[in-house]
Every structure is written in C-alpha cells, then in structure tokens.
Chains A and B, each alone.
Chain A
C-alpha cells in the first residue's frame, strides 16, 4: 500500500492541474483574510479576524462552504481523468490493477484533503498572527472543526471520481458543476435539492455550530448552517453515503468497460 501511495504521489506532485488547483484555493483563502482584515473599507473591516484563532476558523469556514466542493469535485474528476488522457488507461489498468488504482487515488486524495483542510485553517491563522500579533488558539476546537471540514470534503472528491465515469468531457463537467454551484436558479429545484443533499455540509452542519458561534460577531455577514440533522444522525448518514460512494466507484471501475471511452 505504501508503494502504491508513493506511485500516486509521484504522479500527482508534478501534475499542473492539481498543483494549480491547490495553490489557487490557498491564494484565494489568503487574499480573503488579508482583504477582510486590512484592505476592506471601514464598514466591512473585520476586527474579529485580528484574533488569529478566529481568523483560522474563518478560513476553514470559507473553505468548507465555498471552495471545498469545487476543489474536491475537480480534484476527484482529474485524478481519474489523468489515467484516461491519450487512452493510457489500458496500460495502467493492466499493469496496476483496477481496484489498486482507485484505492491509491482515494487514499492519497483523503490525505491531500486533510492537508488542505489543515492549511485552510493554519494559513489565515498565521497571516493574522503575523499581522496583528494576537495569539489565541483553541486546539481542541480547531482540531474538531478541521476534522469535520475534512469529512465533508471527502464526499466532494468521491462524487468527482464517480462523475468521471459518467461524463468524459472535462470542460462539460466544469461547466455543469459551476452552474450547479454558482447559478443554481437555472435548474429545477428537485435537481438542486438532490445536489445539496449529496453534500456533507447538509448532514454535518450541526457539527459546525461551535465554529459558527466563534464567528457570530462578523460584520455584515451571517453564517448560515442548515442544521438538518442531529449531530449523531448526520454523522451516521454521511458515513453511510461515503461508504456507498466508495463501493459505487469500486464497482464501476471493476465492471465498466473503460477501454472504449
């Protein structure tokens, strides 16, 4: 398994889309925190974020609600797509094995999402600390919220992997998810309902209440959490969905004829 992860790591660490996507997410996060604390006008200036712990939580919230889904979906789609470029899947399916390929990708993806969740907390935290020197850190709270953000993100990645087996065109995929994410009014509400219910945020929002409470004093900004499920129920449902998505992806890669894409 270590060798498989090492192989996947070599493939991904030089991949421009993955590097670009990760760097873009972190730059947007950094810019958001700098803008909110320094560059915004007096009315929008967030004094709250001059506290480093809260700045970290704000970064995490921004990641979970806005960036995580697009990042997870595109990442999940691309890690499978990279095996299909130039029809190279036949070679790698045969010389690696279908289940081994997808297992390696899912595990490495989970590690990357954990790192991204951690960085989305730590980068705003460090920026705030360096700029305003107000150290505050509730390690337990930060750890729990990073963990929840990670659990929510995994779903997006698995959905991206699944969608790669359905939609072959990267551009078409990007357009569809962008419209679903940012222009949802174009779609019937049943589709949007289904789309939001595919998401961990819908089930685990109760677990983000401590984070919301920390950020309650943000100016001109109201943090909305759906609170659809009780913490334990939501957690069980979401774990079930994640397991189902993993099984579904494993089944598809095992059964689908991937040689005639």
Chain B
C-alpha cells in the first residue's frame, strides 16, 4: 500500500522573475513527526514554508496537502499587535480563528508561556514576544501541523530551553512539526527527519534516527586478526576501517554490541556511538555544494 503523507511535493519550483528560489523540491511529511529544514539565509526555507501555507504559489510542480489540516504558523518576524496587551493578542487570534478563549483557558495559556496578562506587546522583550507568538500560533485553536520559521531568533538561553520543552510537549501530543532554524544543536534532540537546502535545492534528505543510532566506532588494538574481523563482519556490516578504528552499522543497541564483544573476547578497547552532529552534517553539505 502507498504511504500516506499529510504533505507531499513533487518537483516543486519557484521563480521570482529571473531568480530561482526553489528547484525540484520533493518532500514528504508524515503525520506526528518532527521535521527540520535547514539552510543558509536565502536558501529558500521561508519560501518553501510560504508555498506550503498557501501564502504564495509555486511556479511549477505539485504540492498535495491534506484538506482537513489545521495549521498553526509562526513567521520569522514578530507579528503582534503592539497596542494590545498579551491577553488581547491571544484573544484576538483565537476569535479570528473562530474560537473563544475562556478566562480559565487564558490563565492556563499565560502560565504555560509565563507571560504577564496586561502588559502591552510593545513592552515585551524579544524572547517574550516570540513566546507570545508561539502561544498564539499553537494554543488558540486545535492544531495538526505547526510550522515555525526561525523560532529561536532573539531568544535568550532560558527561552530556548523553554521552547525545546514546549516543542517536545507538542510532539508528544502527536502534532506534526516543521521547523527551520539556525539553532541546530537545539533541534538535534527533537527532529525525526531533516532536509538541507542549498540555493533552493534539497541536498540532503535524511532520517535523523538512522544517522544517529545505527553506527558505532570500535577502537581496536593490535591483536585484532583476520578471524576477529570476519566474525564482526558476520554479525555487523563494516562501514569503514581505519588504522585502529572500525565503524560498524547495526540495528542492535550499544549494550548488545558490548556483550557480543565480551563474549567473543574481541580485542576492542572502546566502543562508542558514531555521532556526527547536525551542525557538522549541515556544514559538510553546505561546503560540498557551495
């Protein structure tokens, strides 16, 4: 049976006059997963979001979106009514979307985002404004898909930690999340899948879990012989072999691999997860395609 996606694009293209903003974009978004879209400024991330949101149209290609999807969107720029209080900004967003926020719910929202009710939006710090905007995008109506464009911009360390926790809660609720951000280390622990965009092209489309968990580095000593190597080969696939390092691929857990090494008296001094950070992957991809 064909897999079901809530968003699916085929060969999506966007031109602004002569300039190519997006070229041959193929993305597939599963329900309930957390997606990161990364790229340098001007790579086309925001353009892609705007096309998904229906704010601008694509020049070519097909974009299929589930009709019944309720989308919460937080743009990169601050979009608040400065002359209204925190309370009124939330109320206006909810009412505009056709929902009423009871005072009890309002209290709950304000507690979650840790903001004062009566303060005017123009008097909030940048981090507080982002928290308010996030509350407006997510809590005023039931949301199936959350699209966040650079949510960490202008946030201090505490706000970033708060955001991480907040997004984790959203993920647990089964909300599909699409984020683009330069704070890759923050998202590393949250994302399920990522795309890297360079000059409007997707240069990497990977499942983050696969990359994270299935490769291990074995530090071997001089006693390692051909027999040991073939024993390892029989149980795992060897990705790379360097002087004193052996990188293996396995679906087993670290504990099981350690047990295998001990039981077979293999001359392995250390075992570690192959952990290339998202930042490293991003930099490699960008340098490679620049």
The reply to whether A90 and B83 form a contact with Cβ atoms under 8 Å apart is no
Residues of A within 8 A of B230 (CB): none
Known: A11-B84, A95-B97. 10 other contacts (CB 8 A): A4-B98, A7-B94, A7-B96, A88-B79, A90-B75, A91-B133, A96-B93, A96-B97, A100-B96, A259-B56
A259 touches B73 (CB 8 A): no
The answer to the question of A93 belonging to the interface, with a C-beta cut-off of 8 Å to chain B, is: yes
> B281 interface residue, CB < 8 Å from A?
no
Q: Tell me if A124 counts as interface (CB < 8 A to partner B).
A: no
The minimal Cβ–Cβ distance linking A139 to chain B, given in whole angstroms, is 36
Asked if B91 contacts A94 (CB within 8 A), the reply is: no
Closest to B137 in A: A95
A88 CA / B72 CA spacing, docked (Å) = 14
Contact A91 B79 (CB under 8 A): yes
Q: Which residue of A lies closest to B47 (CB)?
A: A259
Is A74 part of the binding interface, using a Cβ–Cβ cutoff of 8 Å? no
Q: A95 touching B73 by the CB < 8 A rule?
A: yes
> Would B98 and A3 count as touching, CB distance under 8 A?
yes
In the complex, A217 has a CB within 8 A of chain B = no
A100 to B72, alpha carbons, bound, how many Å?
16
Which positions 57-103 of chain B face chain A at CB distance < 8 Å?
71-75, 77-84, 88, 91-100
- A1-27 near B? 1/0 per residue, CB < 8 Å: 001101110110011100000000000
Which residue from A8, A15, A92, A101 sits with its C-beta under 8 Å from B79? Answer: A92
Tell me, rounded to whole Å, the shortest Cβ–Cβ distance linking A92 to chain B. Answer: 7
B83 & A3 in contact (Cβ 8 Å cutoff):
no
Residues of A near B78 (CB, < 8 A) are 86, 88
Closest 5 CB pairs of A and B: A88-B79, A91-B79, A7-B95, A96-B96, A7-B96
8 intermolecular pairs with C-beta atoms under 8 Å apart:
A7-B94, A15-B83, A90-B79, A94-B54, A95-B72, A95-B136, A259-B55, A259-B56
A91-B55 Cα distance, complex, nearest whole Å = 10
Contact B80 A14 (CB under 8 A): no
Q: Is A104 an interface residue (CB 8 A)?
A: yes
Is A43 part of the contact surface with B, judged by Cβ < 8 Å?
no
A90 and B50 within 8 A (CB): yes
Docked complex Cα distance between A105 and B84 (Å): 17
Minimum C-beta distance from A252 to chain B (A): 15
Known interface pairs A3-B98, A90-B73; A10-B91 also in contact (CB < 8 Å)? yes
B262 on the A face (CB < 8 A):
no
A87 within 8 A of B: yes
Contacts A11-B81, A14-B84, A90-B75; A95 near B93 (Cβ below 8 A): yes
Q: Which of A95, A104, A259 has the most CB of B within 10 A?
A: A95
Residue of A nearest to B84 (CB): A14
Q: Which residues of A contact B81 (CB under 8 A)?
A: 11, 82, 88
A3-B100 contact in complex given A94-B53, A95-B136, C-beta closer than 8 Å? yes
A91 lies within 8 A of B84 (CB) = no
- Judged by a CB distance under 8 angstroms, whether A193 is at the interface is no
B residues near A (Cβ < 8 Å) are 50, 53-56, 71-75, 77-84, 88, 91-100, 133, 136-137, 140-141
Question: A17: nearest residue on chain B (CB-CB)?
Answer: B83
Q: Which residue of B lies closest to A88 (CB)?
A: B79
In the assembled complex, which residues on chain A have CB atoms less than 8 Å from the CB atom of B55?
90, 93-94, 257-259
Contact across chains for A3 and B75 when beta carbons are under 8 A apart: no
Q: A119 CB to closest chain B CB, in angstroms?
A: 23
B88 touches A10 (CB 8 A): yes
For A16, list chain B residues within 8 Å (CB).
83
Residue of A7, A8, A86 with most chain B CB atoms under a 10 A cut-off: A7
Question: Which of A8, A85, A87, A94 counts the most chain B CB atoms within 10 A?
Answer: A94
- A94 in complex: contacting residue of B73, B99, B133, CB < 8 Å: B73
The reply to whether A94 and B83 contact each other, CB–CB distance below 8 Å, is: no
Find residues 235-261 in chain A having any chain B CB closer than 8 Å to their own CB: 257-259
A82 CA / B84 CA spacing, docked (Å) = 12
* CB-defined contacts of A8 to chain B, threshold 8 Å: 96
Residues of B within 8 A of A90 (CB): 50, 53, 55, 73, 75, 77, 79
Complex Cα distance A101/B92, Å? 12
B50 touches A95 (CB 8 A): no
> In the bound complex, what is the Cα–Cα distance between A258 and B74 (angstroms)?
16
How distant is the Cα of A87 from the Cα of B100 in the complex, in angstroms?
A: 25
The answer to whether A10 and B92 have CB atoms under 8 Å apart is yes
Q: How far is the CB of A12 from chain B (nearest CB, A)?
A: 10
In the complex, the answer to whether B95 meets A87 with C-beta atoms within 8 Å is no
Of chain B, the residue at the smallest CB distance from A1 is B98
Counting chain A CB atoms within 10 Å of each CB, which of B97, B136, B137 scores highest? B97
Cα separation A100 to B53 with both chains bound (whole Å): 16
Cα(A7)–Cα(B81), bound, Å: 12
Kindly report which residue of chain A lies nearest to residue B57, judged by CB atoms.
A257
Q: Which of B77, B133, B140 gathers most chain A CB within 10 Å?
A: B77
A11 to B82, CA, bound (A): 10
Residues of B within 8 A of A7 (CB): 91-96
Give Cα A15–Cα B84 distance, bound, in whole angstroms. 9
In A141-195, the 8 Å CB interface with B consists of: none
Residue in B50, B75, B141 with the greatest tally of chain A CB atoms within 10 Å: B75
